[in-house]
Amino acid sequence: MRAVLQSALLPAMRAGDKDTVAVVRSALAAIANAEAVPAPSTPPAEDGPVAGAAIGVGSTEAPRRELTADEVREVVEHERQDRVQAAEESEAGGLGEYAARLRTQAAILGFLIERTG
């Protein structure tokens, strides 16, 4: 799924397709956020050149977890559903043009989800 999203990004950027670029970037960011692991609660340094700074090799690297293909698909489906719901709410609030854009983005995600089978 991630490969499908990444492969859709460059052609959309070249074509100037703002909706596809926005929704693909958003989906990739949501996947990256889902891969984040909570940081351990180690106390910061209390003395030294920069008190409270992270110290040591790799101390600023955030651990990531591997999502399964099904988990990635769930994240992208959740992004699609969020847009559908936001479109309905926007339509009810009189924001028809914005609702149409959200529906377009939801359809793009639906198409990309279908491509992964």
Instruction: Tell me the per-residue pLDDT of 41-100, one tens digit each, with 9 for 90 and over.
Output: 665 556 555 555 656 665 566 678 889 999 999 999 999 999 999 999 999 999 999 999
Q: How much is the pLDDT for 116?
A: 84
Q: How much is the pLDDT for 44?
A: 56
Q: How much is the pLDDT for 104?
A: 96
Q: Using 50, 70 and 90 to split pLDDT, how confident is the model at 36?
A: confident
Delimit the domains of the chain by residue range: 2-115
Q: Using 50, 70 and 90 to split pLDDT, how confident is the model at 28?
A: very high
Q: Which residue has the higher pLDDT, 48 or 110?
A: 110
CATH topology of domain 2-115: Hypothetical Protein Yqey; Chain: A; domain1 (1.10.1510)
pTM higher than 0.85, yes or no? no
Virtual torsion, Cα 78, 84, 89, 93, nearest 10 deg: 140
Distance CA 44, CA 8 (A): 42
Phi, psi values for residue 16, rounded to 5°: 75, 25
Which tokens sit at 46? 């209390």
